[in-house]
Amino acid sequence: MKLLVTGAAGGIGTRLRQMLPSIYKDIRWSDIRKPDDLVAGAEFVAADLADMAQVEKMVAGIDGIVHLGGFSIEGPWETILQANIIGCYNLFEAAYRANVKRVIFATSNHAVGMYPRDQKIGVNVTVRPDSRYGISKCFGEAVGAMYADKHGLRVTCLRIGNFADTPIDQRRLSIFLHPEDLVQLIRIGLEHPEIKYEIFYGASDNAAAWWDNSNAHKFGYRPKHKAENFRAEAMAAQAKLPPDPVGDYFQGGSFSSAEYDADK
């Protein structure tokens, strides 16, 4: 399988550049600019996701895509529109035209960030985005569904929580995703024979989880890492954060409380 990983210069992409080559031998990396620390000999294609001609070149000859590219936090509408709306549409449409078989779409917990923390949700709930960024992730999940249902592309949407080696605060005790567990989810999306269109939560084995990740478990996901092992450190870090009552109520945290004026 020839693999394309977009967003190669980002936080997750940088880590995957260390982890994926031992599993997949033929990987093309892409980002808008070449990362300074790209290893010698690695295949790289620069592409602006908002430019269809560049995206078509990027996907030529590819069997499977891990789509991490785009803008990874809240931003102005124009930024989100170009990178995450137009960019995501271009990625799926170009993948379809190029006969790509599988796409892993890095969606986000912020697609459902306006659910309260006291509600446990699965993957069959109505989306409740907490930001323009979250809206773009809902859009990407919908684009992926259409290409899967109408055109047979095999699509796995990973609603990534917080990708890190350890949970960095109280919220992240619920949504922590260790890099090795992410790699396990990516492998399921790329290799499991039964994948058509699935949404999985990108989360480790977190005792304080707000998400029912049984759909991922059905496909064999067995996370190895547990946020709870780092509770003391996470709570010590939490104690140093400024109060955020709205952010602490909703799953999306500061993405939910930013620009929030529903009580006004």
Q: Closer to ligand 15L by CB, 39 or 73: give it.
A: 73
The contact set with ligand 15L (CB under 6 A) reads 72-73, 108-110, 162
The CB-of-13 to ligand 15L minimum distance in angstroms stands at 12
Residue of 115, 133, 201, 221 marked active site: 133
The CB-of-10 to ligand 15L minimum distance in angstroms stands at 9
SS (H, E, C) 44-75: EEECCCCCHHHHHHHHCCCCEEEECCCCCCCC
The CB-of-110 to ligand 15L minimum distance in angstroms stands at 5
Q: What is the DSSP letter of 169?
A: S
Pairwise CA distance, residues 87 & 89, whole Å: 6
Let me know if 133 is a catalytic residue.
yes
How buried is residue 187: exposed, middle or buried, by Cβ count under 10 Å (0-12/13-18/19+)?
A: middle
Q: Where are the alpha helices (DSSP H) in the chain?
A: 11-19, 52-59, 77-80, 87-97, 132-151, 170-175, 179-191, 214-218, 231-239, 245-249, 254-257
Q: Establish how many alpha carbons lie within 13 A of residue 109's alpha carbon, considering only the half-sphere containing its beta carbon.
A: 31
Read off the tokens for 120.
């446990």
The CB-of-26 to ligand 15L minimum distance in angstroms stands at 27
**Amino acid identity at 38:** L
The CB-of-115 to ligand 15L minimum distance in angstroms stands at 13
Catalytic residue list? 133
